[in-house]
Amino acid sequence: MINWRYETWVREFEAERERRGAVGDPLWSLGAALDPALVRSLRKFQVGEDGDGSALIGKAERAGDPVYAGAVRLFVAEEQNHARMLALLLAAGGSGTLSGHWSDAVFVRLRRLMGLRMELLVLMVAEVVALRYYRAVRDGAADPLASEVAGRILADEERHVPFHCRRLREGFAGLPAPARRAVAGGWRILLAGAAALVAVDHGPALRHLGVRRRAFVAETVRLSAPLAASFTSAPARTPTGV
């Protein structure tokens, strides 16, 4: 039997949960002065982060590796923490959350129709767009609370991406090289499309953060090249630890 070595990820997620508990929350009582364009943008990302993750957990459980399923449960808890922190940030700025957003509803429905591998591919689109977005908020927001929350979320997303990459690499290991190349190409096109949609939809917030739309798309697409290569590259015969 292949040793998936997801114990390492479980330990990492658990250590992070402990660290989070020890550090505690940002000081919400400081309040936040948020630009209206940033509020509109953060509210949409808050909806995207929110969700019980039960469909993904179910698929991970059916994949037959209980350690991996445990890691996915911890991953989902981190995403829920992102939604919680964004809601508290919005509240600190005197704003509420959205009850839902059409793009999120479409995204969730699409993912439900897919198997684990396809769901992770689509999820990875959101994770990589999030990498560039939260970096923009962390570095560009004038409000210290907004910058801190974005920095914390970004640090988590930077761990999520290699976690999904690893599972995807194993998922695509059985495909012949041309099929893996097609997956990589298709995924990068999907990512470029999603980055363009976000750049248009969140353009005013990005402008406020000092990031041009075109640069946002270009930098997200640039990020995607090594990632696509890593999860569709020829697999090692015996996967080792991270």
For Fe ion, the closer CB: 47 or 209: 47
- Which segments of the chain does DSSP mark as H helices, in order? 7-23, 36-49, 54-62, 66-92, 102-112, 116-140, 144-171, 177-201, 203-209, 213-232
Q: Which of 39, 47, 59, 82 binds Fe ion (CB under 5 A)?
A: 82
How many angstroms separate the CA atoms of 36 and 31, rounded?
Answer: 15
Extract the tokens encoding 141.
């927001």
- Which part of the chain contacts Fe ion (CB under 5 A), choosing from 71-79, 95-103, 138-146, 178-186? 71-79
Alpha carbon distances (Å) from 92 to 20, 22, 77, 148: 20, 22, 22, 13
For Fe ion, the closer CB: 79 or 104: 79
Q: Determine if 104 is a binding residue for Fe ion (CB under 5 A).
A: no
For Fe ion, the closer CB: 164 or 208: 164
Q: Determine if 119 is a binding residue for Fe ion (CB under 5 A).
A: no
- Which part of the chain contacts Fe ion (CB under 5 A), choosing from 10-18, 42-50, 132-140, 192-200? 42-50
Asked if residue 13 lies in contact with residue 75, where contact means CB atoms within 8 angstroms, the answer is yes
Secondary structure class of 51 (helix, strand, coil): coil
Residues 138-157 that bind Fe ion (CB under 5 A): 157
Cβ-based neighbours of 82, under 8 Å, separated by 6 or more: 49, 153, 156
For Fe ion, the closer CB: 92 or 120: 120
Residue nearest to Fe ion (CB): 160
Binding site residues, Fe ion, CB under 5 A: 49, 79, 82, 127, 157, 160
